[in-house]
Structure 1
Amino acid sequence: MSDVGSEVIRLGDVRADFDHVDGFLFLSSVNWSELRQRMFEASLGAHSRPVIIANADLAAVQGWRIVLVERDGLFAGHDVTTYCNRSGFYPDWHLNQI
């Protein structure tokens, strides 16, 4: 995580850590839990801070609106309409890249 350019702590199951940070950077949802989601929402509700989602796939995991990144990642160079029709997911927003 040295390439982030700021002090970084990996959040666990301690609410005080959520309250301590200046912002949130999501790179993966591998170890994310319902408890951490509740702590995140409560902490962010108590004190607004920047939230950066560096992996667009994470938005779908949390049940937020759908964002489709068309020129980066899996869909780069493909007609996304076919994938949308096959999956039944239609994005609320289209982005060329993050």
Structure 2
Amino acid sequence: MKLLPGFEEEYKKRHDEIWPELSKLLSERGVYDYSIFLDEETMSLFAVQKLKDDANVDHLTVEPILRKWWDYMADIMETNPDNSPVEKPLKEVFHME
């Protein structure tokens, strides 16, 4: 994902104040230990979320609260026409357990 330049503090503020109903939905679907990192040079955002074994995240994108969050964040991020964040898959080059 990509943050628009100059919105670093606003992005952090909005996530520090994440809506309880969105946080609850993610937890109910099996998401835990969720972090987002910012590369300040490229304004790239990298999200890492751990999922429980029985996680059900396949259809999160149709949830009204998630779509509302996308709308809320659209003014400070690169987005698709539906306001979902522009995402780019990354190739895993190393993993250690």
TM-score by shorter chain over 0.5:
no
The structure carrying a bigger strand percent of its residues is 2
Which entry has the higher C-alpha Rg, 1 or 2? 1
What TM-score do you get using the length of structure 1 for normalisation? 0.25
The structure carrying a bigger helix percent of its residues is 1
